[in-house]
């Protein structure tokens, strides 16, 4: 029962939030993790990531080429998997943040023509509150269906956290040097940059 409730909760949350590519990827990986636990099998996050990508590409073959959210989401997870062990000495929040950003920054520079310099600080200050915000928001919705005053009280907690996050984002984005503008960033630059990242990942393994 707990397995099916967890799966239903994940599916409901993805539907509730618009089923963006990054959320679908996370949901598939989460469900695969639950299946592994239910079957008593070891869980490989790399295999789960590859299988999630395969499932999404089978449903929409063009997603791998034209969906930026899909590309950034998978690159960020790859960064956490392979770069975080080498940056673990920086601490969990900073290490995970930098691991994901190192992997996605080249693609962001290509698509958007800029690199955020303030995002590591923003993530350190905001990232710990995001799961709590999501929890209270989801709980408020469920409780409001059962008893509206209770759901409203819980929604105030989510509102306070959201206000903190939005205010902080606005404050940090006002800094003149918050982003580095790149007027010309050709896609060919992606090849040597990602080759260097791969070399950095593999250099201690061989």
Q: Residue 93: what pLDDT?
A: 82
From CA 68, how far away is CA 62, in angstroms rounded?
A: 11
Dihedral sign, CA of 180, 186, 192, 194?
positive
| 129-140 mean pLDDT | 90
Residue 114 binned pLDDT confidence (cut-offs 50, 70, 90): confident
| 35-40 mean pLDDT | 91
Question: Is the predicted pLDDT of residue 65 greater than 60, yes or no?
Answer: yes
% pLDDT > 70, the chain: 99
Q: At 43, phi and psi to the nearest 5?
A: -105, 125
**Arithmetic mean of pLDDT over the chain:** 89
| 132-136 mean pLDDT | 91
Residue of 160 and 121 predicted with greater confidence: 160
pLDDT tens sequence across 163-204:
999 999 999 888 877 788 887 788 889 999 999 999 998 886
| 157-167 mean pLDDT | 94
Neighbours of 75 (CB within 10 A): 20
Q: Residue 204: what pLDDT?
A: 61
What does the H/E/C string look like for the chain?
CHHHHHHHHHHHHHHHCCCCHHHHHHHHHHHHHHHHHHHCCCCCHHHHHHHHHHHHHHHCCCHHHHCHHHHHHHHHHHHHHHCHHHHHHHCHHHHHHHHHHHHHHHHHHHHHCEEECCHHHHHHHHHHHHHHHHHHHHHHHHHHHHCHHHHHHHHHHHHHHHHHHHHHHHHHHCCCCCEEECCCCCHHHHHHHHHHHHHHHHCCCC
Question: Is the predicted pLDDT of residue 162 greater than 60, yes or no?
Answer: yes
| 88-117 mean pLDDT | 89
* pTM of the shown model: 0.81
Q: Residue 116: what pLDDT?
A: 85
């Amino acid at each position: 029962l707990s397995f099916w409730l967890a799966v239903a909760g994940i599916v409901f949350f993805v539907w509730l939030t618009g089923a963006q590519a990054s959320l679908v990827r996370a949901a598939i990986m989460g469900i695969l993790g639950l299946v592994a636990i239910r079957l008593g099998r070891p869980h490989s996050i790399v295999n789960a990531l590859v299988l999630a990508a395969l499932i999404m590409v089978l449903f929409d073959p063009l997603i791998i080429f034209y969906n930026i959210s899909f590309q950034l989401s998978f690159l960020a997870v790859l960064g956490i998997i392979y770069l975080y062990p080498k940056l673990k000495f920086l601490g969990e929040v900073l290490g995970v943040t930098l691991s994901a950003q190192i992997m996605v920054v080249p693609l962001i520079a290509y698509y958007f023509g800029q690199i955020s310099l303030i995002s590591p600080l923003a993530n350190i200050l905001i990232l710990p509150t995001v799961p709590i915000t999501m929890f209270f928001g989801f709980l408020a919705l469920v409780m409001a269906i059962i008893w509206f005053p209770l759901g409203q009280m819980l929604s105030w907690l989510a509102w306070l956290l959201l206000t903190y996050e939005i205010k902080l984002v606005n404050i940090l984005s006002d800094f003149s040097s918050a982003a580095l503008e790149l007027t010309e960033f050709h896609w060919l630059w992606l090849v040597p940059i990602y080759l260097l990242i791969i070399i950095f990942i593999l250099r201690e393994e061989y």
